[in-house]
């Protein structure tokens, strides 16, 4: 074969026909010969001895060159078949000698290593010990599967493959989507699959045994085909306005490259289709054509098609042609269309108009026309910088390069673009940013590479930046899919990382490594299957809650602001205890600890800390977690119908009670004490009746006019307070009777006291509350959702203007009841020890049963309802049902205990009915006697 020094490229050295360099003598070599390029550093001479300040050869140059050549030959001539050694250049650095050694036949690698080690500061590159084979039929077509083999004469260790492209950029070749590296015996192989044009270049296999590098190189020529972007002008020829002809222009744009394509245009719809001169604009070349739409002749044609095809005739085998077909809808007189909306052209219904992005982005914007209405604009415009990064990552993914060598550059560029360019806040740019991160991690996994601390600051900034504008995520229906990819990618990156003591925070993301027992500030503790502590990586997201769906089993929920992703390194069985700070849980709203299971939120393996610990979650697996709050409070089944039925019974009972009091008043009211008691009873029944009616009037708050909602709230507030203040009057009466046995209450004093306490005090409470809370302001004094007083949190809200007085009165009433019971239990002096204990117990029970409804003691359950959250099951449910039944039936219980249960009232009522019955009987008897007399 021809020597490599004589040939213009290494490939022709193996052929009989070769273009030789004019400056070199043609040398015919054995095809087993070895060429060695070397450089050796010698400290015996200085560079100034060889070259002067103008870098011209000195007088000593030839002598020193001969001495160095003699010295080198003395070492290399020990090789069998040694032929020649030629010094080719000198470089500064003491003196670095570059030279070429020719050996006419195979050499012993071990012997060559010995020579190199003898010559300190020597590096050698051999050609000939490795044979490289590439496909003979070149150029190969894109999409083909060429194989490159390198075979060594002896074991030279592991191989490194590199590709030097047409831009003279050298890139390592790795396992990727288009390249598979393998070794069989002494042969190393690169198997390419479905290749792209980026594989065009010089393939080199390198075997390194310091200080010697054994290489072989060959060119792989690829007949590339371009990516084509096609468009017509106009996009929708308009034949609806009686135009006879329309000039239609077509453009097919490709990126400028060195290939010489044959471009052809074809259409069965146009006879006059003609190509026009191409134009170069920046990095792109536009191929053009024209045709005429003859509207009268095409009146029944809905669309036309035009195809532009690019053929690369250099491809010997395989795909040599790529084309794009333009579908061009014609707007006819009968067509529906969307009117032009600058910059969008008039468009035919059921079709999509497209526009190129501006110069700072790659891609197109599209807008569908449905009926006669434009739909939303779908932008696929991708930032140029992001597109370049995406292209670089794709190339690495194909097998061109190592991710570890490019990671810092790629992450830094990604962070810079997403930080400084506001155009990142679009769905297309967020989508490609997530895609870049996902593909980088996939490549990293494929190359068995782990991320470390160096890339994390840029990584955290990037994943934070894409969360800046949550509205951009919702520009497409695929938002859930994108957010899932986002979370899965971050989780995969963390699992593929080897981090140490990392605490990196950005605007929307905080990433931190910690141990399983202490993960401040996230309040996360971890229990694993072993007692040894594990490394934990916690990522807190802000804004992500606004992107992920707020539903659990298709039921809407409110979520907290924070989402935590917890990963326990090297552990499969974990128990996580997490606290979500800053969550404002609404009363009676159940919380759900959930994790994202790729498609939706799930509660599996997670439990909530309950109302006593509402921000706590326990889970048994790694994942992305948050806490969701129900949009609606917990509801109790059948509570509403039960309430209304009981209220109906009470209203009827209270009306009966008032009627009975009216009927028996003269009979039962014989003393001041009975007068006072029945006055209190009538007032309690009357105001309780009004309160119940007002309550029923707000049964559907959403349908109640705002003014009426306010009025009825005031009415309920006053009526219920009046009821309780009158029960207080009754309690004072009982206490006075029991404590001041021999001192009688004067009627005027009691009536004045009762009227003041029963009417004026509740009125003052209501007026002061009304004025204090912005004169009855909605959301302040009352809620238009409940038509009742408001509750904010703690002891805030107008509801406490009801709770405090009612609570105080109930406590006093309970004290009065206690005094009565004590009086029953304590025997009189005359009774000594002769009292029947059963009678005492019976008396106590009777007192409690008879006095509890009229004194409002059952409202004690109301305070328990207020204190117990409905999520505290089953206690809160039991208390709520008890409160509802007992208090909505309060009127019924008053009727039973204070009307039918009182002996004097029963007797007076029976006496009155007997009197009426007797009068009625006498009247019937007189009528019969008169009738008999008349007949006779």
Helix, strand, coil distribution of the chain in percent, nearest 5: 40, 30, 35
Distance CA 702, CA 704 (A): 6
Which of 90-94, 462-466, 916-920 bottoms out in mean pLDDT, i.e. has the lowest?
Answer: 916-920
- DSSP class of 144: -
The packing angle between helices 706-739 and 747-755, to 10°, is 150
Residue 109 token pair: 């690698």
Residue 260 token pair: 């010489």
**Pairing of β 222-223 and β 140-141:** parallel
Per-chain mean pLDDT for the chain: 84
The model's confidence at residue 928, banded by pLDDT at 50, 70 and 90, is very low
The model's confidence at residue 926, banded by pLDDT at 50, 70 and 90, is very low
**Residues 564/624, Cβ–Cβ less than 8 Å:** yes
Chain-centre distance for alpha carbon 310 = 43
List, for residues 646-697, the tens digit of each pLDDT value: 989 999 999 998 888 888 877 777 777 777 788 888 899 999 999 999 988 8
- For 684, counting Cβ atoms within 10 Å of its Cβ (0-12 exposed, 13-18 middle, 19+ buried), the class is buried
Distance CA 588, CA 568 (A): 34
Q: Identify which has the larger pLDDT, 209 or 1.
A: 209
Distance CA 471, CA 859 (A): 49
C-alpha count within 13 angstroms, C-beta hemisphere, residue 820: 26
Classified as helix, coil or strand, 904 is: helix
For residue 370, what are the β-bridge partners? 373
List, for residues 702-734, the tens digit of each pLDDT value: 888 878 899 999 999 999 999 999 988 888 887
**Residues 501/535, Cβ–Cβ less than 8 Å:** no
List, for residues 306-344, the tens digit of each pLDDT value: 999 999 988 877 888 999 999 999 999 899 999 999 999
Q: How many CB atoms lie within 10 A of CB 255?
A: 12
Q: Residue 582's pLDDT is what?
A: 56
pLDDT of 392 > 90? The answer is yes
Query: Phi and psi at residue 739, in whole multiples of 5°?
Result: -90, -45
Classified as helix, coil or strand, 206 is: strand
Distance CA 787, CA 777 (A): 12
- List all residues 6 or more positions away from 352 whose beta carbon is below 8 Å from its beta carbon: 366, 367, 368, 369
The packing angle between helices 61-76 and 109-118, to 10°, is 140
**Residues 627/558, Cβ–Cβ less than 8 Å:** no
Peptide bond preceding 874: is omega within 30 degrees of 0, i.e. cis?
Answer: yes
Distance CA 446, CA 442 (A): 6
Distance CA 244, CA 292 (A): 10
Peptide bond preceding 171: is omega within 30 degrees of 0, i.e. cis?
Answer: no
Distance CA 781, CA 797 (A): 8
Helix (H) or strand (E) holding 148: strand 147-152
DSSP-assigned letters across all residues of 12-71: GGGSSS-PBPTTS---B--TT-EEEEEEEEESSS-HHHHB-TTS-B-TTHHHHHHHHHHH
**Residues 579/860, Cβ–Cβ less than 8 Å:** no
């Amino acid at each position: 074969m021809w020597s490599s020094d004589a040939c213009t490229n290494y490939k022709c050295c193996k052929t009989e026909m070769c273009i030789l360099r004019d400056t070199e003598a043609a040398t015919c070599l054995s095809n087993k010969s070895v060429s060695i390029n070397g450089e050796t550093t010698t400290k015996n001479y200085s560079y100034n001895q060889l070259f002067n300040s103008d870098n011209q050869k000195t007088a000593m140059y030839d002598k020193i060159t001969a001495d160095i050549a003699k010295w080198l030959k003395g070492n290399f001539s020990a090789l069998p078949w040694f032929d020649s050694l030629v010094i080719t250049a000198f470089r500064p650095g003491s003196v670095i000698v570059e030279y070429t050694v020719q050996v006419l036949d195979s050499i012993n690698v071990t012997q060559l290593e010995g020579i190199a080690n003898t010559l300190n500061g020597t590096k050698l590159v051999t050609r000939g010990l490795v044979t490289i084979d590439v496909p003979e039929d070149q150029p190969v077509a894109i999409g083909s599967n060429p194989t490159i083999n390198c075979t060594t004469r002896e074991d030279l260790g592991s191989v490194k493959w590199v590709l030097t492209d047409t831009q003279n950029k050298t890139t390592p070749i790795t396992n990727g989507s288009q390249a598979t590296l393998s070794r069989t015996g002494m042969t190393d192989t690169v198997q390419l699959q479905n290749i792209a044009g980026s594989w065009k270049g010089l393939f080199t296999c390198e075997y390194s045994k310091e200080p010697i590098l054994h290489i072989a190189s060959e060119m792989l020529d690829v007949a590339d085909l371009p990516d084509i972007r096609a468009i017509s002008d106009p996009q929708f020829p308009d034949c609806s306005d009686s135009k006879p002809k329309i000039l239609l222009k077509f453009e097919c744009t490709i990126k400028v490259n060195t290939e010489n394509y044959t471009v052809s245009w074809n259409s069965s719809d146009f006879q006059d289709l003609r190509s026009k001169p191409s134009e170069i604009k920046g990095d792109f070349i536009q191929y053009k054509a024209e045709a005429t739409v003859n509207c009268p002749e095409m009146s029944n044609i809905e669309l036309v098609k035009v195809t532009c095809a690019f053929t690369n005739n250099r491809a010997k085998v395989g795909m040599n042609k790529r084309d794009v077909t333009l579908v061009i809808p014609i707007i006819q007189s009968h067509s529906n269309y969307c009117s032009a909306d600058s910059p969008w052209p008039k468009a035919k219904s059921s079709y999509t108009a497209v526009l190129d992005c501006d110069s700072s982005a790659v891609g197109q914007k599209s807008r569908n026309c449905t009926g006669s209405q434009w739909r939303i604009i779908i932008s696929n415009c991708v930032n140029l910088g992001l597109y370049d990064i995406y292209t670089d990552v794709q190339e690495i993914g194909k097998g061109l390069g190592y991710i570890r060598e490019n990671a810092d550059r790629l992450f830094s560029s990604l962070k810079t673009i997403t930080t400084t360019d506001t155009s990142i806040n679009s769905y297309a740019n967020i989508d490609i940013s997530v895609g870049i991160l996902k593909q980088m991690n996939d490549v990293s996994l494929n190359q068995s590479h782990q991320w470390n601390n160096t890339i994390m600051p840029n990584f955290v900034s990037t994943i934070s930046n894409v969360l800046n504008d949550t509205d951009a995520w919702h520009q497409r229906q695929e938002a859930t899919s994108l957010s899932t990819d986002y979370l899965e990618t971050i989780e995969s990156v963390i699992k593929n990382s080897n981090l140490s003591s990392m605490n990196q925070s950005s605007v929307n993301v905080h990433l931190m490594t910690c141990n399983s027992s202490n993960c401040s500030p996230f309040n996360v503790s971890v229990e694993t299957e072993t007692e040894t502590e594990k490394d934990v990586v916690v990522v807190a997201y802000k804004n992500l809650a606004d992107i992920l769906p707020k539903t659990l089993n298709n039921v809407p929920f409110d979520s907290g602001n924070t989402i935590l992703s917890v990963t326990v390194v090297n552990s499969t069985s974990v128990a996580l205890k997490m606290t979500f700070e800053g969550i404002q849980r609404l009363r009676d709203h159940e919380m759900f600890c959930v994790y994202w299971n790729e498609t939706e939120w799930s509660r599996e393996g997670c439990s909530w800390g309950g109302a006593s610990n509402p921000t706590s979650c326990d889970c048994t697996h790694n994942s992305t977690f948050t806490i969701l709050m129900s949009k609606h409070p917990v509801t109790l089944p059948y509570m509403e119908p039960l309430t209304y039925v009981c209220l109906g019974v009470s209203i009827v009972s209270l009306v009966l009670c008032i009627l009975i009091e009216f009927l028996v008043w003269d009979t039962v009211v014989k003393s001041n004490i009975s007068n006072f008691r029945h006055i209190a009873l009538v007032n309690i029944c009357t105001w309780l009746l009004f309160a119940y009616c007002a309550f029923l009037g707000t049964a559907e708050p959403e349908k109640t006019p705002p003014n009426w909602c306010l009025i009825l709230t005031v009415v309920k507030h006053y009526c219920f307070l009046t009821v309780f203040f009158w029960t207080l009057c009754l309690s004072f009466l009982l206490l006075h009777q029991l404590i001041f046995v021999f001192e009688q209450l004067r009627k005027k004093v009691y009536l004045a006291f009762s009227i003041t306490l029963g009417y004026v005090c509740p009125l003052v409470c209501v007026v002061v509350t009304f004025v204090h809370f912005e004169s009855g302001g909605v959301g302040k004094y009352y809620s238009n959702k409940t038509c009742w007083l408001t509750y904010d949190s703690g002891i805030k809200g107008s509801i406490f203007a009801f709770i405090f007085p009612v609570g105080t009165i109930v406590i006093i009433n309970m004290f009065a009841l206690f005094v009565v019971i004590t009086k029953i239990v304590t025997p009189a002096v005359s009774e000594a020890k002769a009292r029947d204990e059963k009678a005492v117990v019976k008396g106590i029970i009777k007192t409690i049963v008879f006095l509890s409804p009229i004194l409002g003691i059952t409202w004690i359950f109301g305070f328990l309802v207020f204190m117990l959250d409905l999520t505290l099951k089953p206690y809160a449910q039991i208390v709520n049902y008890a409160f509802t039944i007992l208090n909505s039936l309060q009127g019924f219980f008053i009727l039973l205990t204070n009307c039918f249960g009182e002996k004097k009232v029963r007797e007076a009522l029976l006496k009155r009915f007997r009197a009426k019955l007797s009068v009625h009987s006498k009247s019937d008897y007189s009528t019969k006697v008169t009738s008999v007399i008349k007949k006779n």
